[in-house]
Each structure stands twice: as C-alpha cells, then as structure tokens.
Amino acid sequence: MEKIHHLYWRAGFGLSPREWQARQGLTLQQALDQLFQEAGVVEEAPAPSASSREGFRQMSTKEKEVILKQERERLGSVNIEWIQRMASSRHSALRERMALFWHGHFACQPIFGSLGAQYTNTLRRHALGNFRELTLAIARDGAMIRFLNNQQNRKEKPNENFARELLELFTIGRGHYTEQDIKEAARAFTGWSSNLAGAYVFRPRFHDYGPKTFMGKAGDFDGTDIIDIVLEQRETARFITRKIYRYFVNEREDEARIEALSRQFYESGYEIAPLMRAIFESDWFYAPQNIGCRIKSPVELIVGIIRALDVRFVNDKALLFLQRALGQVVLNPPNVAGWPGGKAWIDNATLMLRLNLATYLFQLSEVNFRTKDEPEAGERGTALRRLDATIDTRPLMDLLAGVRREHYHERLAEFLFLQQPDIAAALLQQYASAGSDWDYANSLAMRLMSLPEYQLC
Amino acid sequence: MKRRDFLRASALASTSLLVPSFLPAAFGGRMSGGRFGKILVVIQLSGGNDGLNTIIPYRNDAYYRSRPNLAIPAAEVLPVGDELGFNPALQALRPLYDGGLLSIINSVGYPNPDRSHFRSMDIWHTASDSSQYLSTGWLGRYLDSECAGCEQPYHALELDDSLSLALKGREHNGFAMSDARQLKRTTDNRFLQAVGKAAHDHEHGEQAAYLYKVMVDTQSSADYLFEQSKVYPSKAPYPLTPFGQDLKKVAELITADTATRVYYVNLTGFDTHANQKNRQGRLLKQLAEGMQAFVMDLKQNGLLDDTLIMAFSEFGRRVKQNASGGTDHGTANNVFLLGGQLKQPGFFNPGPNLLDLDEGDLKYQVDFRSLYATILENWLGVKAPKDILGGEFGVLGMV
C-alpha cells in the first residue's frame, strides 16, 4: 500500500480516505492498470461563453476594462473548475496530473476565459499522447499564440518570441541552437495566427514561403517542419525526459536512468504514456530516497487537503485566494518558464500559511492574510480573514475502525504521510484533545497535518 | 543619559534576552559598538507610475502637445530647475530636495522594454535581461553572496504578508511581515513551537530539514521582530495611510537598531489608464508625505546618514495621453534616491528627450542594473556586484 500511496501522490493528487481504503487489496500492477485505464477517456472542460471582442481595439479604455474584468472572472471559473477536477475522484487523476505538468512546461497566461478552457483542453487531450502532436497543438493554440505574440509574427516583421521559447523552454533547451536558428524558426512560424474565437488560422499573406536554413538543414520549411527537425535531435528527448524525471521522481537527477528513459522516449517516437509507465513500473521509482522527497506545490497541497478532509468552501473563490497566497495560480504562471518549484515554494510567509492551513479549516479560526496587489486593480490585494468552509472527517475517522486509541496516531500518519514523521507520540498526545475518541482523533489529525512533513509527497 | 543612549540601552536590554542562542557571533559584536550598518529601503510603486507627470518638463512644448488635457500647467508645477519641476502633489518633497537629501535619476530602464506589469516587474526584481527568466531576485542573491554566516532571514524585510521575488535567493530568502503583532500570531501555535524545539533531536531528510529550518527561523524571527517593534514607538507625524504606517514601522525598526539591512515597502495603484490626474495626485501625495515623515524621523535620530531610500516603478507611461484621461504602459522612468549621504543631490541627469522616441515611448539613458550595481558596491559594500547582477553594468557616482 505504501507503493500505491506514493504512486497516487506522484501520478495523481493523493487519495481520499475512501479511495485509500478501496485500494487496500490491490497489487501495485492492478493499481497502475486502473490509473492508466481511467486516463483512457478525455473529459474536456466546459468553455465559458466568450465576450464579444468585435471591435475590441476600437473600444475606449473604460469599455475595455469592463470586458477584461469580466474575462478575469471567467478565467477564475475555469481555474476553479480545474482545481475541483483535480480534487475529485470522478476525473482521471493521471490525466489531470499530466495536464498540470504540461501546463508548467508549456506555460501560458490565457487572457480570456474561453481561451483558458481551450488551452487546458489542448493539454488534456494530448497529455498522455504523442509529444510531437502536443507541441504542434500548442503552437496552434489561440491562448499560446496570443501569449507569445505569434499573431504579430509576419513575413515583413518577424516576431521571434514563440520561436525562441519553443527552442529554449519547450523542446531542446539552451545551448543546442544558435540565434540564427531562432530567426529562421520565427520565419517558419509567420502567419500562424488565431481568430477572435481563439481558433487556429493560417494566414498565407503573412507567411514567409522563402527557403530557410535551420539546424544545418535547408528547405522551404514551415512551423511543422521546424518542430520535426527539433524532435529529430536526441537532445530534445533528453531535455523533456529530464524535466519529467525531476517532476515525477526526484529533483536529484540520476543520469544513467534519464539517459535510458530518454532513449526509449526517442525510439518510441515521443510517445508519452509508455514513458510514464516505464517510470511508474520501475523498482527505483519506489526506492525510499524517491518517496516523500518532493515539496508539494500549492496546488498539490490544496487538492490533497480537500481530498483528505472533503473540504467544501462556502465561496469557491477561496480556492483562488489560497493559490495566490501560496504562490501558484493555475492559468497564471509567473512567466513562460513556468513555476520553479521545490524550495522556491517556501518562504516564511508561505510556510506559515501552509502549516496553519489545516488548523484554520478544523477550527475555522482567523487567517488574516492579504495577497499581493494586482497592478490593474488599483487597490490593495484581497484580504482573507477567515476560510469559510465545511469539512467532513467521517471518512478519515472510518480508517480508525477497530484501532485502539493509543494507536490512532500511527494509523492516521500512515494515511497522511509518505515518509513517517519523526515525532514523539507523547508530544502529539500532549497537544491533542483529552476528550472523546472522536475529539481526540480529530485533534490528532489536525496536529499531524500541521507538521512540516505534511508538506512533502 | 541622552535620549539616544537610553534607546540603545533599552534596545539592548530587551533584545539580549530574546536573541536566540544560535544567532551568529557577528551580532554580538554589533551590540557593543556602533550600529548595524548601512541600510537600504526600497519603495516599489506598482502599476507603472507616470514619470512625466511626476517630474514635469514644464518648459517643453512637446510635453504639452502630447498631453493637451493631462499635462500639469506650468503655473501649477513646483519648479526645481530651469527645465524640470515637481507635480504639485509632491510639495512635501520640496524641503528634502532643497536640503540636498533627494536625488532624481531620469530615464532609467533597460533594452527591449516589456510593457506587461508582471513581466517588467519581474525584470526589475530579478535584474534580468528582457528575454531572460530568472527565479531569484537581486536582493535575494545579495543575501546569498554577502550573507554567508548570517543565517537570519530578517536581514531583508518586506512590509507585506507575502514575499516579493526581489527578496528570494537561491539559498537565502528575505522575510515578509506586514505587522509584527500579526506575524507573531501566525507563529503562536504552541504545538508547532514544541515541535520546533524538539526538531533538533531528529534526523530529517534534505527537504524536511529545510522546512524545519524555515519554521524555526520564522518562529524566532517573529519573537525578535515583535520585541524590536516595541523598542522605539515613533512620535513623528506619519500619514495614516497604509504606506505611511509601513514607513513608520520601518523607522521604528531602524531606530531600534534591528539587524535588518534591506527594507522593502510597496505603494500600489499607479496603473492610471483612466482619470489619471486625481488618482496619481492622491498617490504622489501619499508617497511624498510618507517619505518626508520618514526622512525627518530618521534625521532627528541621527540615522539618515546610514539610510538610503530608492523609489522605483516597473515602467513609466506613454508620452501621449490616451482618450480616457489617462496614459498607457510605457518604458523608461525616473527613480528617486533619498538619504543623508548622497554624492549628487538634485538631478543626476537631464530630463528625457521627448523628440527622440521609440514608437511613442521614452528611450532609456540609465540601465536600472547600473543603479543596482552602484547601490550594491558603494552603499552595501559588495565587492563584485557583477556576481549578483550577472554582468558588468558600470557603477554611477550618485551614491
């Protein structure tokens, strides 16, 4: 069960107490098969209605502000829908987890709600498919085209933004291309644009049909050719595999394993699902040094707590607030390089909020946290004084059926931690309720969830 | 006993009990003689302050042509030179300017300017090129390189609930605190304090050890800063705005000889696309009155010579006004320096050239990173600012 637990924290978002119990009898192989089987269906997110952007350019600043505010709200609802998906057992945990990974990789800040939904669906659709298809779909995604200004990439005046990030961040990485390669790639992507609804449109008038020289090859390349040439380089498979290894296995890299995996990835023609299976089926994935060594991202932490305590927020916007306060807002990564992750999540403010989060939910006590200002808002950031939410700890307490009171903490810790925290039972008991079994168990869960080790998965 | 001596003695008395035993030895030395050292206060004006309506080229026809409704009439400008004058809302800065305590650097920016708030602010925070993405800030890297041995995060303190990228380093982070009392409440979890105390007895993996360290540091810092915040309750007349009160807290900590070298304060709302005149006027007034109270407070306590203040914004605004009585995102902007030890008070360089624009925007004359280099080397005593800034940007003479 420890292995299945670890698998679900990396390939999904942890387990609710019920899911945890339901998997008690499974072998690792059965759990893996189940994960991949559930991921077989792509469930797309509903797109919010789009504001009419007819004549947006001609609008006055005030009119624009109204629309942009509306769109921020819609983006917020796409964000909330996604977080709730990650927390729900009705959606494939593996597919949503892969989509979140690719979101950090092909990082993008969609400006409209409809573009946001479309972009997450692009990620979802290809999350376990083929990396070439994924890259191509992203190059044609309206949200990305706008984010990296490719609608301004025209024959007479190429805009190199997309071409640069394609090489530097999305495929092969720094040090394996020249500035000239970027210029030539930018020419190949001229005319790759999108219409008002965000759908991909190729504009032949703006496309540069002339011959190009890219990575030592010459031809009348267009964007698709550029992607194919980059993917012919083994370095691209290495770059992507390394990133996957650091995210799903361990920030501490193992060169030999990364090399072997990247060879397999390359030879499969960049098929993602077999690569992920190879990782999750390996023995080393379950080695002690790879378990519980990852600092949960804010989204992992939030989603994990929702699953563990069946949290329901009175106002779902609390989810946006928490993401902002903890430093990771889905659909709003800091820049095109995505979230740096690891220790970068942690400073004194985010850590204390993380440690106190479970306590706030158990006790509905005061939070008093103000997020950073939004420059457009013209006012100080939103403050949260209290997290209005209900929690249901009955499923969690069900795990204690048949367990004697003096072993409650051990049983709860088994469920809450990947690596057992080194804390004296006496200390825990000293700060737990001396009341009924129910009160005692709940206070234990609250204390355990405020330990620094709860931040790890 | 003189007032200053009394303050020092009481600061010593109250902190010596509270300074955690694992504080580095350097702190002990500080207490017997002299102050903690040079202090930098960074003021961030978020949203993109309109520099042209802050420091006004009131004799420039191009300025009045570009802004028929938004320009400040020459008669209302507070002239401080033949060409340039203050926005009338900066009245409170006038005596500081006259007293040689203010230096203004015009046209500060960087090549290939980015007009997105977030991106441009990131560039200012990380001191990167406009095509480069860094995940650490310039002050965070200062903590990394110059702070070997001084493990306390409150060497760089941001007056806010969350920490800006500027103060995040690879090894060391700055510290965020909007209010010492409130911070103390977040660490007032007796269970976690007991866990922190017991943590030394246990072996932790690398990540867990890091989390424990940050937790324990935060707990002890919260105690230390709470005590420091009570040492010197300032009587100076600070504005009651959040910004004014933030500066008051900073002055109180500086006066209490807190072991903090960098303070970071925010003032927001400068994104004036519409109805700019009133809104910017209100903000500039807050800024000027807050800074005046702050400077005079420090001066009275003989601390202004040890303090350098820098106020910046992520970009200026377009030269031409827009159709909504405001201005859109622009590029280069002016930066203010204040302090008792300025080498070149007044204007460091002439105002921007309004006839030589880049697609309607000002061209930068001074790279903001040369300003950082100057502050790091000439003020904070960093030997090789290029190691922090990732390149040579030249050191200017104003500090």
Domains of chain B, residue spans: 3-18+31-184+233-389, 185-231
Per-residue pLDDT of chain A (457 residues; tens, 9 = 90+): 999 999 999 999 999 999 999 999 999 999 999 999 999 999 999 988 877 667 777 887 778 888 888 888 999 999 999 999 999 999 999 999 999 999 999 999 998 999 999 999 999 999 999 999 999 999 999 999 999 999 999 999 899 999 999 999 999 999 999 999 999 999 999 999 999 889 999 999 999 999 999 999 999 999 999 999 999 999 999 999 999 999 999 999 999 999 999 999 999 999 999 999 999 999 999 999 999 999 999 999 999 999 999 999 999 999 999 999 999 999 999 889 999 999 999 999 999 999 999 999 998 766 767 777 665 654 456 677 778 899 999 999 999 999 999 999 999 999 999 999 988 899 999 999 999 999 999 999 999 999 999 999 9
Shortest distance between the Cα of A66 and any Cα of chain B, in A, equals 13
Spell out the domain ranges in chain A.
Answer: 150-229, 234-290, 394-455
Residue written as token pair 């707590």: A305
Shortest distance between the Cα of A201 and any Cα of chain B, in A, equals 25
Please judge whether B195 and A423 are an interchain contact, meaning their C-beta atoms are less than 8 angstroms apart. Answer: yes
- Give the Cα separation of B29 and A115 in Å (integer): 59
Dihedral sign of CA atoms A280, A284, A285, A288 in order: positive
Per residue in B105-150, pLDDT (tens digit) is 999 999 999 988 889 999 999 999 998 999 999 999 999 997 665 6
Residue written as token pair 């190009």: A212
* Region B61-70 average pLDDT: 96
> CA A378: distance to chain centroid?
29
Nearest CB among A61, A375, A379 relative to B117 is that of A375
Please judge whether B323 and A295 are an interchain contact, meaning their C-beta atoms are less than 8 angstroms apart. Answer: no
Please judge whether A370 and B161 are an interchain contact, meaning their C-beta atoms are less than 8 angstroms apart. Answer: yes
Q: Are B234 and B297 in contact (CB under 8 A)?
A: yes
Compare all CA atoms of chain A with the CA of B325 and give the residue at the minimum distance: A61
For domain B3-18+31-184+233-389, give the CATH superfamily: Alkaline Phosphatase, subunit A (3.40.720.10)
Q: B217 to chain A: which residues are within 8 Å by CB?
A: 348
A380 and B CB contact within 8 Å? yes
* Element of type H or E holding A439: helix A437-449
Shortest distance between the Cα of B37 and any Cα of chain A, in A, equals 24
Please judge whether A348 and B161 are an interchain contact, meaning their C-beta atoms are less than 8 angstroms apart. Answer: no
* pLDDT value for B273: 86
Q: B316 to chain A: which residues are within 8 Å by CB?
A: none
- Give the Cα separation of B257 and B255 in Å (integer): 5
Nearest CB among A295, A371, A447 relative to B191 is that of A447
Query: How many Å from the N-terminal Cα to the C-terminal Cα in chain B?
Result: 34
**Chain A to chain B Cβ contacts (< 8 Å):** 152
Nearest CB among A62, A353, A456 relative to B324 is that of A62
Compare all CA atoms of chain A with the CA of B323 and give the residue at the minimum distance: A60
Compare all CA atoms of chain A with the CA of B45 and give the residue at the minimum distance: A375
A451 and B CB contact within 8 Å? yes
- The token pair at A135 is 């890259």
**CA-CA distances (angstroms) from residue A276 to A11, A95, A247, B80?**
9, 11, 12, 67
Shortest distance between the Cα of A39 and any Cα of chain B, in A, equals 31
- The token pair at A197 is 């609804």
A335 and B CB contact within 8 Å? yes
Q: A371 to chain B: which residues are within 8 Å by CB?
A: 161-162
Nearest CB among A61, A335, A452 relative to B211 is that of A452
Per residue in B345-356, pLDDT (tens digit) is 999 999 999 999
> CA B181: distance to chain centroid?
22
* Element of type H or E holding B56: strand B55-56
Nearest CB among B176, B186, B274 relative to A356 is that of B186
Q: Are A161 and A150 in contact (CB under 8 A)?
A: yes
B109 backbone dihedrals φ, ψ, rounded to 5°: -170, -150
- Give the Cα separation of B330 and B334 in Å (integer): 12
Nearest CB among A65, A344, A456 relative to B168 is that of A344
**CA-CA distances (angstroms) from residue A82 to A198, A306, A337, A400?**
20, 13, 21, 32
Which of A335, A345, A310, A307 is closest to A452 using CA atoms?
Answer: A345
- For residue B10, give every residue at least 6 positions away whose Cβ sits within 8 Å of its Cβ, in sequence order, or none: B231
* pLDDT value for A380: 54
**CA-CA distances (angstroms) from residue B5 to A68, A243, B253, B301, B328?**
57, 58, 16, 11, 51
Q: A422 to chain B: which residues are within 8 Å by CB?
A: 202-204
Four-point Cα dihedral A267, A268, A269, A274, nearest 10: -140
* pLDDT value for A377: 54
Strand extents, DSSP E, B278-365: 307-313, 333-339, 346-347
Q: Are A141 and A119 in contact (CB under 8 A)?
A: yes
Chain A residues 388-407 with CB within 8 Å of chain B: none
Q: A347 to chain B: which residues are within 8 Å by CB?
A: 153, 162-163, 168, 173-176, 214
Angle CA A391–A393–A399, to nearest 5: 160
Please report how the helices A272-281 and A93-105 are oriented relative to each other, as an axis angle in degrees rounded to 10. Answer: 110
* pLDDT value for A373: 65
Q: Strand B307-313 vs strand B39-46: parallel, antiparallel, or unpaired?
A: parallel
Compare all CA atoms of chain A with the CA of B216 and give the residue at the minimum distance: A348
Please judge whether A294 and B207 are an interchain contact, meaning their C-beta atoms are less than 8 angstroms apart. Answer: yes
Please report how the helices A234-248 and A223-232 are oriented relative to each other, as an axis angle in degrees rounded to 10. Answer: 80
* Element of type H or E holding B190: helix B190-198
